[in-house]
Amino acid sequence: MKDVPSANNRTMPPMPRHHPATRRRFARRALAGLLPALLLLPATAHSASDRESADPTQLARVTESLMPPADDLALVRRVKARLLADERLDGKRITVDSLGGRITLYGTVAESAHGERALQLAQSVDGVQDVSSRLQSLAR
């Protein structure tokens, strides 16, 4: 795989296909494509009994199961904002993922001390239960 140039002409390694953010993005796009069809399903029922058996709450349950919990999304936003606000870190190079209050940090940092700083900042956000790091240091 080739490195992808970023906005500041530095190269960043491409995001792996199995990356949680990639999977979530795919799920959101799939949901966005399926949602109009799912909403039209009750309208396309042919008999009166089919229309009566269409349950709108079932559609809501399916939609909710495909979306990540709102708490996790809010937590990701708060952690990312904290990383971007820190002057010592390049927060744009760090991807944040959350599952059940457990934060995982992905990406690259200039040196290992920046990775430790990112962990400390993520742990300081209210609602974070645990933080794990998949950060790679560019310093050798």
Q: What is the CATH topology of the domain spanning 68-140?
A: Histidine-containing Protein; Chain: A; (3.30.1340)
pTM of structure:
0.52
The predicted structure's pLDDT at residue 71 = 85
How far apart are alpha carbons 130 and 119 in whole angstroms? 10
Q: Average pLDDT for consecutive 10-residue bins of the chain (140 residues)?
A: 54 59 71 67 55 58 56 92 93 93 94 95 93 89
Query: H helices then E strands: how many in the chain?
Result: 5, 5
The predicted structure's pLDDT at residue 112 = 92
Q: Using one digit for the tens of pLDDT, what is the confidence trace for 48-67?
A: 555 555 566 665 565 555 55
Burial environment of residue 97 by CB neighbours within 10 A (0 to 12, 13 to 18, 19 or more): buried
The predicted structure's pLDDT at residue 96 = 95
